[in-house]
Amino acid sequence: MYSLIRSFNGLAIADEVQSGFGRTGKYMWGFEHDKVVPDIVTLGKPMGNGHPIAAVVTTREIAKSFNSNHGYFNTFGGNPVSAAAGLAVIRFVNNNKLIEHAESVGKHFKKGLNSVARRLSVIQEVRGSGLFIGVELKSNRITSKAIEGLLSEGVLVGQTGPQNNVIKLRPPMTFKKEHADQVIKAIEKVLS
C-alpha cells in the first residue's frame, strides 16, 4: 500500500491512536510490522494513559511546509504537564516491558480464540497482533448480540469493521494470560 501511495506522490499516514505505544506487540508502532516509514503519524489516547494528549509526527519538510502555508497555532501545544505525562507513559511501557508482554499475552489470547473458532462456525476469523485483536463473526446482528452477552459477563468490548461484524478486543496493556482465558471462556459461552 505504501509503495502504491508513493507511486502517485501521495503521503502515507499511519493512524497509531489505537494501535500505537506497543499495543500490537513486538514494536512500539503498528506500522513497524510492515517495515514501512510513514510520512505522517497520528498519536493519541494511549500516549497519556487517560491524560488528554495527542500528537502528529511528520518529516521536517512536511512540518515546514504546513507551518509556512498555514501559520499554525495551538492553544494547548507544548503543555509541560501533558509532555510529562507522555514521557512517563513511554518510560512505564519500556521499564515494564509492556511491548513484550503485549506480544506474549496476545499470542496466548489468539491461540485460545482460534481454538474456540475451530469449534464454533459463527466465528469467521480471528486476526490481529499483540493486544489489538478482532474476532469476525458471520453478521453484525450476531456481533451485537455477542457484545450484549459479553457485557453481562463483565467483558467490555467494541464492535467494528466495514460490516460492523467484528468484536474489537483492545484490553489494557497490563492484561494477563489469566484475563485472556476469562474473556475466551466468556466469548465461547455467549456464542454457543
Domains and CATH numbers, the chain: 2-95 (3.40.640.10), 98-191 (3.90.1150.10)
Sheet containing 132-137, strands listed edge to edge, beginning at the edge strand earlier in sequence = 123-129, 132-137, 166-169, 158-160
User: Tens of pLDDT along 137-173?
Assistant: 999 999 999 999 999 999 999 999 999 999 999 999 9
Cell numbers describing residue 179:
484475563
pTM: 0.88
User: Tens of pLDDT along 114-136?
Assistant: 999 999 999 999 999 999 999 99
pLDDT of the residue at 78: 80
